[in-house]
Amino acid sequence: MSLFSGKNLLGTPHRVSNGSNKNKLEFTPIGVSKGRNIGSIGGYDLSPPRSKSRSTYTARQPLNEHKINQSYNESSFDNTLDNFNTTINSFLKQPISSKNTAASIPPKLYPERNHILNNGMNSIKEQQVENHKLETENYNLKIKLATLTRFFDQTPEEQRELVTQNIDLKQQLMESAREIKQLKEAITDLQYLSNKENSGNSAQNIEEMRLEYKQLLNEREAKLSEYERQIMSMQEEMVSNNNHRVSDDLLDKLEHLQLDNQSLRRQIDSLKITINQLEHDNDAVGNNFDDIHEQLESKDVQIRDLQADLSNWKEKYEFLNSEYRGSTDSNNDNLKQSKQEIMHLNSKIKDLEYKYMNAKNMLEQKDEDLNKMMESINGDKNIVDKLDRRIDSLTRQLKEKDKEEYNLRSQIKALLDQRTSNKDNDYQFYESEIESLKLKEKRVSEQNNKLRIEVSELQDQLYQINTNSNSHDQRLKKLQEQKQELQDRLAYYENEYEILEKAFNNAELESDSLKSQQLKADERIINLENENQLLLKQLKSSSAKLNNSALLELENFNRKQLETERKQLIEEVDSLKFDLKRVTNELEFAKHNKPVDINNQFLDSEYQKLLMEKNKLQFTADDNEIRFRELDAKCRKLQTIIDDKESIIENLEAKVREVDRNNKLKFLVEDDEKTELLKAKSNNESKMRLLQLENENLQKEFETQINFYKNKLEILLQRQEEDIYNNNHNKKNYENQSSSIVLLLEKQLEDSQALRNEISQKLSDQIATNDDLKWKYEKLQKDNEQLVELSNAFDKNEKFVKLENSQLEMRMKKLTQELNNTTRHCSKLVNKVKEFKQRELINEKYKTEDNDWNKSRLTSKCHDLQAHNSYLQNKLDNINSKLASTYISSPSDNSKKIKLLENELHYYRAKLYDINLRSNDLEIMYQFVMNAIKNSNRLIKNDIIKLTQCGIYPDYASMNLQRIQKGDKLSFKVLSKFVLAMVRIRRRSEKAEKRKIRLFELKNEIETDKITLLE
């Protein structure tokens, strides 16, 4: 915290006052009482003496205000310690803006204070405070709008429509509030002007009333001059005739003047009545405004509820992001598991190939044994036929069960397909159906196992029968039937293989579509990034143009106009003051030298009225000076507004950069995830192709084996009849070998069924992984849509900034027009003052007509205000009805976030306030030093000449200033200034330390709140 962070520097002009302490000294100098501080400059009393004669009074008058430079006198030195108190209090109570209580006091109550110390700057301070409030409110509303648009764009369409309706209503409320404020300002102007007698409602009426007052003053001066001439003539006649009676002509004239005064008073009373009526109407309008204000507060409560809903949506969005990250991690784990399962499948396939080769060798050996054993098969054909029939029935049942199993599997696949298409709606229903189908499948598998057990038992019976009956023909039939069963099962496996191929083809098509959609999304993201970069470049170029061109032109133009207007106004004020002093001197002279008459009281009253009119004219001159200073303040305010807008643009640029960085990081993460998913997909596809090739090879091998066995069986049947009689001794060996062959075939069947089950499970797992991939892709699409919405929000923010810049330019144009109007008005005033004496007679005739015209104008303005008020009431009723029809969601517990945001806002406002104070202090110090360097010698000479003209001090210009030049003695003035500077520095350092402690506490609170929210 630097020295220039809190207040103005020593000797700088006063900017913002702090209540009732604005005209008081910080400590009373030695030899000066406290009561005399108000009307003194630098400790010297400027009030006129009471007990001295008129000649001494004229010799020792106070200094003229037009000869003293107000920026370098000692009174301005004492008004610089008020700003930092208000800033600290406003920071501790409210953000930045704080209303000045003393600024609302009209300058009419304390004219001496306004002339001597602050030159009637109270109205300017009020306007500065109000404008500062409006600017802070506008800045806060802009921030709120930016955040609302950013978060509301991420909500669904129905809620967006509600939000847009609420935003439109809020804008209408803001417009109505502005109109209400304008009406309140107009009403306060009317009330303030009604206290002044014969006042209008607008600036034109005020100017007209001032002209009327000037006309009345000139008329009174003319009448007084005529009265003085008449009195002088009467005195001469009385001296000549030694007659103390008053002439009849003079009495008639006095009566005529009394009648004129009575008519004027009646007109004034009628105007007062109309003003009272207007005040009554204004009170009614004020009551309506209070009702409207309550309604606006209710709408603000509703807006806060909407902000709470926004925070809820933000929390939901963060929760979804966390879920998305968890799902990506789980998908990676699933991919790893699928890789391990594929490796396991490959190992199983190799084992199966090895088993298949062993089985093939065994079958070849068994074929050789069968060729030997078929020669010895004969007998027991009837029993074998019965058993064959039993086996046929059992095989039919097996086929039916297999068909049922196939149908169930097809139903499961159909349900899985439906589940992928309508996953969000019928997820639970399909899960229940899948569980029921799985139960059915288990039951069917159990039944199949039972049937297989029965088949094995029947085979045992066959074996026993074969051992008993030695029926080789029946065994051949049995082998043929087993061969048919194997063929049927091969057909069944071929069908399942075709289904698997179709499923894999569909999965490949879906993966291709996902790839194409992903490529489109990537292209769209790249386009959005390019658009963001273009927008950033446009923002930078627009801010640079505004900074370079507009500010320089405005500063040069305003400086030139202000210098010319300042000179003109100073000349006009000097001329008016000179005329007023001349008139007062003449009136005092006439008052002291007039004889004692019967109508002395009447003349005294007339004299007092003229003095009142003189004060009013002086007030008009002060108003002109105030206007000039107001224009100067407006120019400075515009510069501060432009600086604020530049800071806002820089903040927006920083936010855009942060968002771009975040988007790039998100895109990189998403690209990595996409690449991993694509790799996993390609690996799965390659593995599926390998499995397909292996299945094709297995089918081919099975077909070759079937053909081989068919040929062998035909050969065996041919040889059977030939070798029946030769191989009767080898029956027992053949039966044992045939039973072992049957057992091996059964084992192979069981292994093939287990393989089928494993393949079906892998298929279901693959379908589940494909579903997960689809879900991920949909989620990525949603994220891309959110990014697009964010880019749209940035576009809206850019348009909003452009609109604000255009509004600022329009405002600058309006201010330049106001400056031109004021210059024209000043020139008109000068011309009217010159022509005032010539138009005295014409103004007397049209006085009554002007009053009637003013009355009619005031009544018409009142009617217009009433009509406008009714229009505003209807508009507010419509807004209330719309808000009642809209649905507002309930708020949630987000007090911590709101508190954190408020603390951050206070902290950044305080920092911004410190920066503004430093810049203001440096500007004021620079101006002060430059003016002091330029005007030091001239000011010293002028001060010495003024002191000699006052008659209080000796003529230092003619004296030798050896002591001052040598600097032997230290003057009291230098010492008092040094003490004052040290006191101020001490106070400012204490306040700066307090402010630093407060900011440090705020920063700690913000950090703790952030940590708690992260936890």
Contact 595, 532 (CB under 8 A): no
Q: Does residue 161 lie in a domain region?
A: no
**Given a cut of 70, is residue 885 above it in pLDDT?**
no
**Given a cut of 70, is residue 961 above it in pLDDT?**
no
**Given a cut of 80, is residue 942 above it in pLDDT?**
no
pLDDT tier, 980 (very low <50, low <70, confident <90, very high otherwise): very high
Q: What angle do CA 504, 509, 514 make, to 5 degrees?
A: 120
- Displacement of CA 506 from its chain's centroid (Å): 48
How far is residue 633's CA from residue 959's CA, in Å, rounded to a whole number?
43
Please tell me the total number of residues recorded for the chain in this structure.
Answer: 1015
User: Tell me, what's the pLDDT at 245?
Assistant: 43
Q: Does residue 643 lie in a domain region?
A: no
**Given a cut of 60, is residue 800 above it in pLDDT?**
yes
Stronger pLDDT, 709 or 52, i.e. the higher one = 709
Q: Does residue 435 lie in a domain region?
A: no
**Given a cut of 60, is residue 924 above it in pLDDT?**
yes
- Looking at 431-435, 625-629, 679-683, 792-796, which range is the least confident one? 431-435
Q: What is the mean pLDDT of residues 620-643?
A: 73
pLDDT, one tens digit per residue, over 179-190 is 777 766 776 776
Q: Take residue 157 and report the two structure tokens written for it.
A: 């369409």
- Looking at 59-68, 414-423, 679-688, 852-861, which range is the least confident one? 59-68
- Among residues 376, 407, 431, which one ends one of the domains? 376
pLDDT tier, 249 (very low <50, low <70, confident <90, very high otherwise): low
Stronger pLDDT, 956 or 161, i.e. the higher one = 161
Q: Does residue 429 lie in a domain region?
A: no
Stronger pLDDT, 220 or 918, i.e. the higher one = 918
Stronger pLDDT, 194 or 928, i.e. the higher one = 928
Q: Take residue 913 and report the two structure tokens written for it.
A: 């306030």
To the question of pTM greater than 0.95 for the whole model, the response is no
Q: How far apart are the first and last CA of the chain?
A: 34
User: Tell me, what's the pLDDT at 584?
Assistant: 66
- Looking at 79-93, 291-305, 565-579, which range is the least confident one? 79-93
User: Tell me, what's the pLDDT at 221?
Assistant: 66
**Given a cut of 60, is residue 532 above it in pLDDT?**
yes
**Given a cut of 70, is residue 796 above it in pLDDT?**
yes
User: Tell me, what's the pLDDT at 273?
Assistant: 75
- Among residues 318, 351, 376, which one ends one of the domains? 376
pLDDT tier, 360 (very low <50, low <70, confident <90, very high otherwise): low
* Pairing assessment for the beta strands 40-41 and 44-45 based on DSSP bridges: antiparallel
User: Tell me, what's the pLDDT at 802?
Assistant: 72
How far is residue 274's CA from residue 861's CA, in Å, rounded to a whole number?
13
pLDDT tier, 456 (very low <50, low <70, confident <90, very high otherwise): low
User: Tell me, what's the pLDDT at 581?
Assistant: 67
Q: Does residue 621 lie in a domain region?
A: no
How far is residue 255's CA from residue 267's CA, in Å, rounded to a whole number?
19
Q: Does residue 306 lie in a domain region?
A: no
pLDDT, one tens digit per residue, over 734-779 is 555 555 666 666 676 677 667 767 776 777 777 777 777 777 777 7
**Given a cut of 80, is residue 993 above it in pLDDT?**
yes
**Given a cut of 60, is residue 459 above it in pLDDT?**
yes
3-state secondary structure of 20: helix
Q: What percent of the chain is modeled with pLDDT above 90? A: 1
pLDDT tier, 602 (very low <50, low <70, confident <90, very high otherwise): low
- Among residues 313, 342, 376, which one ends one of the domains? 376
Q: Does residue 247 lie in a domain region?
A: no
How far is residue 772's CA from residue 419's CA, in Å, rounded to a whole number?
12
Structural domain span for residue 336: 330-376
**Given a cut of 60, is residue 369 above it in pLDDT?**
yes
How far is residue 414's CA from residue 402's CA, in Å, rounded to a whole number?
18
Q: What percent of the chain is modeled with pLDDT above 70? A: 34
3-state secondary structure of 44: strand
Stronger pLDDT, 505 or 34, i.e. the higher one = 505
Q: What angle do CA 536, 540, 543 make, to 5 degrees?
A: 135
How far is residue 183's CA from residue 295's CA, in Å, rounded to a whole number?
17
**Given a cut of 70, is residue 462 above it in pLDDT?**
no
**Given a cut of 60, is residue 973 above it in pLDDT?**
yes
Q: Of 49-63, 780-794, 994-1008, which one has max mean pLDDT?
A: 994-1008
Q: Does residue 234 lie in a domain region?
A: no
How far is residue 866's CA from residue 851's CA, in Å, rounded to a whole number?
23
- Looking at 76-85, 804-813, 925-934, which range is the least confident one? 76-85
- Least Cα distance to 897 among 315, 318, 137 occurs for 315
Q: Of 251-265, 346-360, 524-538, 929-943, which one has max mean pLDDT?
A: 929-943
Q: Write down the mean pLDDT value for the chain.
A: 65
Q: What is the mean pLDDT of residues 856-862?
A: 69
**Given a cut of 70, is residue 934 above it in pLDDT?**
yes
pLDDT tier, 721 (very low <50, low <70, confident <90, very high otherwise): low
User: Tell me, what's the pLDDT at 65?
Assistant: 39
**Given a cut of 50, is residue 47 above it in pLDDT?**
no
Q: What is the total count of domains within the chain?
A: 2
**Given a cut of 60, is residue 237 above it in pLDDT?**
no
**Given a cut of 60, is residue 197 above it in pLDDT?**
no
Rg for the chain, CA atoms, rounded: 53
SS (H, E, C) 96-126: CCCCCCHHHCCCCCCHHHHHHHHCCCHHHHH
Q: What is the mean pLDDT of residues 856-877?
A: 69
**Given a cut of 60, is residue 62 above it in pLDDT?**
no
